[in-house]
Structure 1
Amino acid sequence: MRPWAPLLPAVLLLLGGCAQPAQGGGLKVGGPFGARPTVVFPDGAPATGLQIDELTSGDGTRLGRDSVAVVQFTAHVWDGADNRVVDSTFDRGAPAALRLGSLPEGLDTALRGRRAGSRVVVALPPGDGFGPNPPQGVRPGDELLYVVDILAAYGKGAAAGRARGGTLDGVTVSPGAPPRVVIPPGPAPARFAAKVVSRGDGPKTRAGQLLVTQHVTLLWRGGRVVEGSWSDGRPRAVRLGDGSVVAGWERALTGVPVGSRVVFVVPPALGYGRGGVPALGIRGNDTLVFVVDVLGAH
């Protein structure tokens, strides 16, 4: 069984309202947008087939094929008995990021083309969901019911507002997206350094938040690009303060206004350490250069 966490991330937004009917023969969903929904199930068997209903239509950015959606969601097993909750971002305490194109087919269909600010209800049969290998707590034949609030949407070409360029320790970053980064010849600096080269006007980031970013990673040695979200075709979401990113990211990106572009030089001790990342050609003694656009913080 797979855990829910990698498959079904989370989100936040708001709408007021009473219980609203949704597809599925008397199903009612209530509560304000961005808050834990109330769900009243009808008596009897669950709905048949994939059913999708948009209870609230937002006017934000539209989700495309390779977009990242920041969402709040609640998932139930719809069995006509206790209809238990099997996962919820409200229980996790934070919103999550969903990568369209990497979701079960029915969820991907339900979210693609929706706008930020929308609440979507999805009755998800096994054939359009997880099939024979469902998450923990769900049987292969279980029908699922999702209530998803789309807090924000980020397309593959998203960039920091002004996306200006700048310099740090001889590293030159061009304006625009994706930026062109030129690293000077010679030995890498021994110390960590970071600079906001284009300052956004959003709130400052803080530990515990989900950041949506665009970035590029380069080796100081030779100036080679080793990976990045612009080349991958979609933004990335990371959480500050949970140990999921290298220490250099934590230092450089905590307290930065949303909408900023940050360049930082990371020595091995604050990067990938002695082990490096052989798959990317990163050695244990490599200093790295990152350029990160902070698109959102949730």
Structure 2
Amino acid sequence: MRFRPLAALSVAAVSALLLVGCSSSSPESTPTPTDTAGADLCSVAAPEGDVASSITVSGEVGAVPTVEFETPLEITTSERAVAVEGDGDAISDGDYVSYALGIYDATTGEPLQEAGFDGTALPAMPISVGSGPDVFFGCATEGSRIVMTVPDAGSGAQVYVIDVLDIVPADAWCAVSEPTGEFPSVEFDADGNPTVTIPDAEAPADVQLEVLEEGDGATVEAGDSVTVDYQGVKWSDGSVFDSSYERGEPATFATTGVVTGFQRALEGQTVGTKLVVSMSPGCGYGEEGSSTHELAGETLVFVVEIIETTPAE
């Protein structure tokens, strides 16, 4: 099974926040799953500061920004400033956020990465207390532009500009529905290997699922470790891109370790169930241009047989 990281924010940046902390008062000021119990996204966001506030960012939210600051910019702590306050809903714990991201070298001011702007948002990710990205986003509102200073964690100090483009509640993101039109069909041969036929029709714009055979085993709960046989097919041309059937060995993974559409298809089903699910690009590997993944922009179809589930520890 191919996995997609939950966050496209650089690992170095999140590590810097976790190691250095959000203020110079104490290492414990950095949120962790333990000390954020009962906290909310507003309270765990990085604090405001003079360095972040000194950075000038211009241009429309959603477009590549013009970022100006005196170089070299000395960054010793993580700070956050809201350059533009959006008028949309605020992020709630667990919401999925689509965003654009610019990263700039604090020493030279040169852009290191600019992605998700001009109509092609980066793949949405869940923002929850204690996750790491919560320090960046906090409870920002849709349409906001955030400026962050990130201390050196091995790649030099950096300035982040994050545009909050869209917010979807956790329970609505990639929610599963029954097929509403022509849908892929599946035939199994004598050895139990599937053949998926894609209809000559437009791909669904959401996650749609058909149960082929309902099992009577245990229910797959959120975060469970599941063992499945599966085959993945592109809606665009019907080609198989991944198959445990072809490898001759089932795959085992946590439901939270796969793309969201696949996770939604598994959770709530029972062991022994066979199903076919179609997921739009946003619930798979992202819209075309949002990443370099070879499956970005593809509507994916999976036929799945759930063999076993083990509760998360």
In structure 2, the residue corresponding to 1:274 is in which secondary structure? helix
Match of 2:27 in 1: none
Match for residue 86 of structure 1 among 112, 121, 124: 112
Q: Using a 3 Å threshold, how does the CA distance of structure 1 residues 58 and 278 change in structure 2: closer, same or farther?
A: same
Is the contact between residue 100 and residue 112 of structure 1 (CA under 8 Å) also seen in structure 2? no
Q: Deviations over 1:51-73 (max 9, x none)?
A: 11112222334323333221111
Equivalences for residues 266-277 of structure 1 within 5 A: 269=240, 272=243, 274-275=246-247
Q: Structure 2 regions of 5+ residues with no counterpart? A: 11-49, 186-191, 225-230, 254-272, 288-313
Match of 1:42 in 2: 70
Q: Using a 3 Å threshold, how does the CA distance of structure 1 residues 25 and 108 change in structure 2: closer, same or farther?
A: closer
Does 1:75 pair with 2:103? yes
**Which whole-Å CA distance do the structure 1 matches of 2:252 and 2:181 have between them?**
25
**Which whole-Å CA distance do the structure 2 matches of 1:150 and 1:290 have between them?**
30
1:8 is aligned with what amino acid?
L
Match of 1:192 in 2: 197
Q: Structure 1 regions of 5+ residues with no counterpart? A: 10-21, 172-186, 197-203, 234-244, 253-267
Equivalences for residues 1-298 of structure 1 within 5 A: 7-8=8-9, 24=52, 26-79=54-107, 82-89=108-115, 94-100=120-126, 107-126=133-152, 131=153, 138=155, 142-158=156-172, 163=177, 190-193=195-198, 220=212, 223=215, 231=222, 246-250=232-236, 269=240, 272=243, 274-275=246-247, 278-280=250-252, 288-290=275-277, 292=279
Per-residue deviation at 1:107?
Answer: 4.1
**Which whole-Å CA distance do the structure 2 matches of 1:93 and 1:167 have between them?**
28
Q: Deviations over 1:93-141 (max 9, x none)?
A: 9421252459997642121311221111111224xxxx4xx5xxx2xxx
**Which whole-Å CA distance do the structure 2 matches of 1:5 and 1:159 have between them?**
14
1:143 is aligned with what amino acid?
A
Q: Using a 3 Å threshold, how does the CA distance of structure 1 residues 60 and 275 change in structure 2: closer, same or farther?
A: farther
Is the contact between residue 71 and residue 98 of structure 1 (CA under 8 Å) also seen in structure 2? yes
Is the contact between residue 246 and residue 271 of structure 1 (CA under 8 Å) also seen in structure 2? yes
TM-score under structure 1 normalisation? 0.50
Is the contact between residue 99 and residue 122 of structure 2 (CA under 8 Å) also seen in structure 1? yes
TM-score under structure 2 normalisation? 0.48
Q: Deviations over 1:200-257 (max 9, x none)?
A: xxxx889xxxx8x657697x566589999x9459xxxxxxxxxxx94345469xxxxx
**Which whole-Å CA distance do the structure 2 matches of 1:160 and 1:100 have between them?**
12
